[in-house]
Amino acid sequence: MRIGIVGAGFIGRAVAQLLIAAGHEAMLSNSRGPQTMSSVLSGIAGCQIGSAEQAVQFADVVLVAIPFEHYPSLPSAWFVGKTVLDANNYYPDRDGHIAALDNHQSTTSRLLAQHLTGATVVKVFNAILAGDLLKDARPAHSNERRALPIAADDAQAKALVSQLLDEIGFDAVDAGNLDESWRFERAKPAYCIAFDKAGLVHALAAAERNVELPRRW
């Protein structure tokens, strides 16, 4: 499978490494252009680089891993017909206050899906640190395998992403549709804490919409 990655930060690079190790193709991009990513070519064997538009065109599946405040700048026409993996998180101090999120009227993934009309959005990779992505990946049937939460409105897209997670070393736990994806957003019990499947199911159920937990990492 070809995965285009919009955002060449720590999460994007870690996911690229795991995908390539699992036999997939990956193209990383950033907002400044491929001429600024020579370190990717030298640091991630087999990774391709390109512009954001090239990465989306290249891809069967697109990972968006950018500061959340920049999502409105993504041209929605690029993403029509694509499955989009949403790794974004909302940090008001960085992104500015967004009333629909502050008032719990929407979720980060629902806002992205409303912007990328014609795409199928799956929330994934937002609730794990980049270093843990590389450290915690385990072979199938491992006794210590970490589980990651996913959310989407489309069952077929969920199945695709669950398979992708399995191939790169993680179990998947279905957290519901995009309106339920708040359960593993920032400051919730499942956010960036390592759980197996059973533990993650419990953490997702324990989340309260109006309660933010202190940072634990």
- Domain CATH number, residue 129: 3.40.50.720
Q: Is residue 29 part of a domain?
A: yes
How far, CA to CA in Å, does 193 sit from each of 3, 83, 117, 146, 199? 26, 26, 32, 10, 10
This prediction has a pTM of 0.95
Question: Into how many domains does the chain fold?
Answer: 1
Q: Is residue 114 part of a domain?
A: yes
Handedness of CA 94, 74, 128, 48 (dihedral sign): negative
Distance CA 105, CA 29 (A): 31
Q: Is residue 170 part of a domain?
A: yes
Q: Is residue 215 part of a domain?
A: no
Q: Is residue 213 part of a domain?
A: no
Q: Is residue 129 part of a domain?
A: yes
Q: Is residue 214 part of a domain?
A: no
| Domain ranges, residue 183 | 2-206
* pLDDT tens for each residue of the chain, 217 residues long: 999 999 999 999 999 999 999 999 999 998 888 888 877 776 899 999 999 999 999 999 999 999 999 999 999 999 999 999 999 999 999 999 999 999 999 999 999 999 999 999 999 999 999 999 999 999 988 888 999 999 999 999 999 999 999 999 999 999 999 999 999 999 999 999 999 999 999 999 999 999 999 877 6
